[in-house]
Amino acid sequence: MGRKQTKSGKIRLTEVAKLAGVSPITASRFFRNPEALSLSKRERVDSAVKELGYVPNLAARALASHRTEVIGVVIPSLTNNVFADVLRGVYDSSEGSRYSIQLANTRYSILQEEKLLRLFRAQKPAGLIVTGINQTTESRAILESMNCPVTQIMEIGESPVDMMVGFSHYDAGFAAISHILEQGCRRIGFLGARMDPRVQRRFEGYRDAMKAASLFDPNLIVTTSVPTTVTLGGTLFADLLAQAPDIDAVFCVNDDLALGVLFECQRRQMSVPGDLAIVGFNDLEFMASAVPSLTSVRTNRYEMGRHAVTMLIDAIEGRRPREPVLNLGFQLMVRESSTPQST
Amino acid sequence: MGRKQTKSGKIRLTEVAKLAGVSPITASRFFRNPEALSLSKRERVDSAVKELGYVPNLAARALASHRTEVIGVVIPSLTNNVFADVLRGVYDSSEGSRYSIQLANTRYSILQEEKLLRLFRAQKPAGLIVTGINQTTESRAILESMNCPVTQIMEIGESPVDMMVGFSHYDAGFAAISHILEQGCRRIGFLGARMDPRVQRRFEGYRDAMKAASLFDPNLIVTTSVPTTVTLGGTLFADLLAQAPDIDAVFCVNDDLALGVLFECQRRQMSVPGDLAIVGFNDLEFMASAVPSLTSVRTNRYEMGRHAVTMLIDAIEGRRPREPVLNLGFQLMVRESSTPQST
DNA sequence: ACAATTATTGACAGCGCTACCATCGGATTG
DNA sequence: CAATCCGATGGTAGCGCTGTCAATAATTGT
């Protein structure tokens, strides 16, 4: 015969059905569509399941039904707090649904992303959430061959693979700089770390706002590809000061850098915002709490996660949104660090 | 007949085998154990796979082989930075192996944990990593019925389900307090948020160290079950000051709280460490960068993640470690915030 | 040169579940 | 009262892959 006998202890759906006195297919329906069963059978199956301690075999289910109830989520980093909030939204809105979340981490590697997408494809997820809009041609091809709804999150742009939820990093960067300019600052430095595509677009917002005010100067810019840390904020700021000692404001591409700048100012006895205005990005929780409180651009990360999942589930279940691209915008949270007059 | 014809475009292993001129089972072996094939067949299968764009069906594989190559990781939070580091270790050491990581988030809910473990069980993972040692009886039963290696991480204790990697939170808390006592502080406050089991044990370390010095006083303690934030650190500290105005040090169960306390001191013009010594826990990156730099207890989170996976894979592949419990210890990172004399 | 061993390969059956259709009793209708 | 419909249930036939073991080819030793 084929293979060794099924372990005696193993409970299959057949056993459950037998005990409940129904056919296997009825027992199967108990899990997928209990309303379709008569109350009496439903109860009989239910107690049989409990009595035998039946655990459905997901692989068999997936094989027979050609689908799974997994939503894949591909993000570039777990260390970056930004994604923690997105994921909270994702988990919150998947809870209560039949779908379970499977998380994958590219660590900002294009190759890793392709590999993960390939892995997901082999698993036939019900839907997929991916970060950003700068997938490689190869990744995009995989996504398009995937035969399931896909939501791109964190930013919006032209030609979505399928759906998108995000905001314009360019606009957000531009708005931040406009605000600083309004405060009367003229020499606004730019501090950037891990220049991923979204950070790059924030930079473009900075650049264009500065150019529009005829204040653009390459000396005001310090960037690195190194991952962001608070300490790095201090280091980069020191570099910036060395190359442009006359700066009166700094725009940091994220809040960790901004906090690092604040600490460095404290170390150098520079007053914030008196000597220097600081504006961060993301509006992490600590920004409001710092002394002085730090201005930042709030991005609706939690909502992004929520909407991404909601839209995805709707699409999976055939209720496609009429508008595939959802712009969640941003809010400039103006605080002490960028309002010199209030000091 | 059974069901509608397989979609014409669908490539199965059989098709690959046919094109390569081998039997399906040989093609199958190409994926699982390529060394077993002769070089010529290996090349033939390889090019057939590429030509047809074959994507293996993981569900079928899992069903036929009774296993998967998934390592499940169950953690209580993604918002908490602590786990980001653990996960970095997990991902780093799973990379290059055949196993892929599946992450699940209990959000500190016991029920959610049980639900997730049940889900994992139905998926027959190759191995499982779970956080902490305080599983419910039910969760523990699921883990034990799981028929795969299990590693508990973040802390160590008696009677592991299988393996453990972590450190003693009690000892760490005790050591932190001992250090503060050595600095001459006597009225050491305790600030705690989200009192999960590990935080609870840090508290016990605090309590016993204080009792040993005959300095224990319930008025020195402020805790809440609310999740941790920097802002909360400030709030709790204000409460603490109200109830014990004469404190000369604070031990915070995590670094976010400690940062919040520092900001609150700045707001109140209290000098750190002159008026108040501050010690945090976890040694997140920003602690070294704060002004003054903040003392903390460094926990080897990255290494915890790495070892958890390494041990797990070894166990999966039959190379069980001789010692199932690995204590990674901790280091007290003494900085300005707790060394008054150096100010 | 021949048996003994080892490396490759293949045939077969079936993993546990569900899609598809058929069935069947009973309620509804004209 | 037959015709119609509908909700509940079941039978059959795989889904795509791999475990088992047997068969064959290649290699080695004596």
- In this prediction, residue B343 carries a pLDDT of 45
Count of helices and strands (H, E) across chain B = 12, 12
- Asked if pLDDT for residue B341 goes beyond 90, the answer is no
Q: Does residue A34 register a pLDDT over 90?
A: no
Within-domain flag for B157: yes
Distance from CA of B71 to the nearest CA of A (A): 12
**How far is Cα B254 from Cα B189, in angstroms, rounded to an integer?**
14
Contact A286/B229, CB-based, under 8 Å? yes
Which window residues (104-123, chain A) lie with Cβ within 7 Å of strand D?
none
Provide long-range contacts, Cβ within 8 A and 24+ apart, for A216-219.
A217/A187, A217/A244, A219/A243, A219/A244
Nearest to A60 by CA among A117, A18, A21, A10: A10
Task: Quickly state the pLDDT bin for A11 (edges 50, 70, 90).
Answer: confident
Q: Is residue B288 exposed (0-12), middle (13-18) or buried (19+ Cβ within 10 Å)?
A: middle
Asked if residues B199 and B192 have their Cβ atoms less than 8 Å apart, the reply is: yes
Quick: pLDDT tens for A124-162. 899 999 999 999 999 999 999 888 999 999 999 999 999
Supply the CATH number for residue B19's domain.
Answer: 1.10.260
- Whether residue A27 contacts residue A45, with contact meaning beta carbons closer than 8 Å, is answered with yes
| pLDDT tens digits, A276-285 | 999 999 999 9
Task: Tell me which residue has tokens 């920003």.
Answer: B286
Single-letter amino acid, residue B294: L
Amino acid at B280: G
Residues B272-289 pLDDT 10s: 999 999 999 999 999 999
Residue B8 confidence class, pLDDT cut points 50, 70, 90: very low
Angle among Cα B325, B327, B328 to the nearest 5 degrees reads 140
Output the pLDDT for position B123.
87
DSSP-derived pairing of the beta strands A296-299 and A330-333? antiparallel
Over 70: is that where the pLDDT of B200 sits? yes
Q: Is A317 on the interface with B (CB under 8 A)?
A: no
Proximity of residue B31 CB to strand D below 7 A? yes
Average pLDDT over residues A232-249: 97
Q: Verify whether the Cβ–Cβ distance B123 to A267 is below 8 Å.
A: no
Q: Report yes or no: A211 at the B interface, CB cutoff 8 Å.
A: no
Q: Are residues A214 and A242 in the same domain?
A: yes
Do A220 and A337 lie in one domain? The reply is yes
Q: Which runs of consecutive H residues, i.e. helices, occur in chain B? A: 13-20, 24-32, 39-52, 58-65, 81-94, 110-123, 137-144, 169-182, 197-212, 230-243, 255-267, 301-316
Cβ <8 Å between A230 and B285: yes
Q: What is the mean pLDDT of residues A48-65?
A: 91
B173-195 confidence digits (pLDDT tens): 999 999 999 999 999 999 999 99
- Nearest-by-CA chain A residue for B106: A91
Q: What percent of chain B has pLDDT over 70?
A: 97
Domain assignment present for residue A5? The answer is no
CB contact under 8 A, B59 and A56: no
Report how far residue B108's alpha carbon sits from residue B306's, in angstroms, rounded to the nearest whole number: 23
Residues of B (29-58) whose Cβ lies below 8 Å from A: 55-58
- Is the model's pLDDT at A7 over the cut of 50? no
Is the pLDDT assigned to residue A297 strictly greater than 80? Answer: yes
Question: Looking at the structure, do residues A173 and A94 belong to the same domain, yes or no?
Answer: no
Q: What are the tens digits of pLDDT across the range B214-252? A: 999 999 999 999 999 999 999 999 999 999 999 999 999
Residue B319 CB lies within 7 Å of the nucleic strand C:
no
Residue B61 resides in a domain: no
Across the interface, whether the CB atoms of A59 and B291 are under 8 A apart is answered no
Residue B1's pLDDT is what? 32
A162 and A138 Cβ atoms separated by less than 8 Å: no
Q: Do B126 and B83 share a structural domain?
A: yes
Which range marks the domain in which residue A116 is found?
70-167+301-329
Subunit contact B78:A68, Cβ cutoff 8 A? no
For residues B174 and B281, membership in a common domain is answered with yes
pLDDT at A9: 57
Decide if pLDDT at B5 tops 50: no
- Same domain assignment for residues B92 and B137: yes
Instruction: Name the A residues in 140-169 with CB < 8 Å from any B CB.
Output: none
Residues B247 and B295 in one domain: yes
Residue A317 pLDDT grade (very low, low, confident, very high; cuts 50, 70, 90): confident
Spacing of B1 CA from C30 C1' in Å = 38
Query: A336 and A286 share a domain?
Result: yes
Please determine, for residue A1, whether its predicted confidence score (pLDDT) is greater than 60: no
- pLDDT (0 to 100) of residue B67: 86
Question: Of B78, B87, B289, which has the smallest distance from its Cβ to A263's Cβ?
Answer: B289
Instruction: Give pLDDT, residue A8.
Output: 46
pLDDT at A4 over 80: no
Residue B199 lies in a domain: yes
Tokens of B190: 């305790």
Most confidently predicted of A97-106, A236-245, B118-127? A236-245
What residues of B are in contact with residue A12 (Cβ under 8 Å)? none
pLDDT at residue B289 in the model? 97
Alpha carbon distance A31, A46 (integer Å): 9
* Count of beta carbons in the 10 Å neighbourhood of residue A103: 23
Closest partner residue to B102 (CB to CB) among A102, A256, A263 is A102
Summarised one tens digit per residue, pLDDT across range A16-29 is 999 999 999 999 99
CB A106 within 8 A of CB A74: yes
Which pLDDT does position A341 carry in this prediction?
A: 66
Task: Tell whether B187 is covered by a domain.
Answer: yes
Question: B16, B49 in Cβ contact below 8 A?
Answer: yes
Categorize the per-residue pLDDT at B96 as very low, low, confident or very high, splitting at 50, 70 and 90: confident
The predicted model gives B249-277 an average pLDDT of: 97
The answer to whether A77 CB is within 7 Å of strand C is no
Tally of structural domains, chain B: 3
Phi, psi of A168, rounded to the nearest 5 degrees: -90, 110
Does residue B63 reach within 7 angstroms of strand C, measured from its CB?
yes
Domain-embedded: residue B6: no
B56 vs A contacts (CB less than 8 Å) = 122
The reply to whether A252 and A336 lie within a common domain is: yes
Asked if the Cβ–Cβ distance from A78 to B88 is below 8 Å, we say yes
Is residue A62 in a domain? no
Q: Which among B146, B114, B189, B168 is positioned nearest to B300, based on CA atoms?
A: B168
Q: Which two tokens stand for residue A54?
A: 């039946």
| Average confidence (pLDDT) over B118-128 | 90
Averaged pLDDT, B107-116: 91
Q: How many CB pairs under 8 A join A and B?
A: 121
Same domain, residue pair A131 and A52: no
Mark the nucleotides of strand C covered by protein, meaning any atom under 7 Å from a CB. 7-21
In which element (H, E) is residue B149 found? Answer: none
Encode pLDDT of A320-330 as tens digits.
899 999 999 99
In a domain, A200, yes or no: yes
Q: Is the CB of A4 under 7 A from strand D?
A: yes
**Are A89 and A114 in a shared domain?**
yes
Question: In this structure, what CATH number is given to the domain that contains residue A99?
Answer: 3.40.50.2300
Measure, in angstroms, how far nucleotide C20 C1' is from residue B310 CA: 47
Starting at the edge strand found earlier in the chain, the sheet holding A221-223 runs A221-223, A188-192, A249-252, A277-279
Q: What is the mean pLDDT of residues B202-220?
A: 98
Select the residue of B61, B119, B234 nearest A289 (Cβ to Cβ): B234
Name which of B63, B85, B285 is nearest A229 (Cβ-Cβ). B285
- What rounded mean pLDDT belongs to chain B? 92
Q: Are residues B194 and B262 in the same domain?
A: yes
Q: For residue B89, give both structure tokens.
A: 């270790």
Q: What is the rounded average pLDDT of the residues A81-104? A: 90
Strand D: list positions under 7 Å from protein Cβ: 8-20
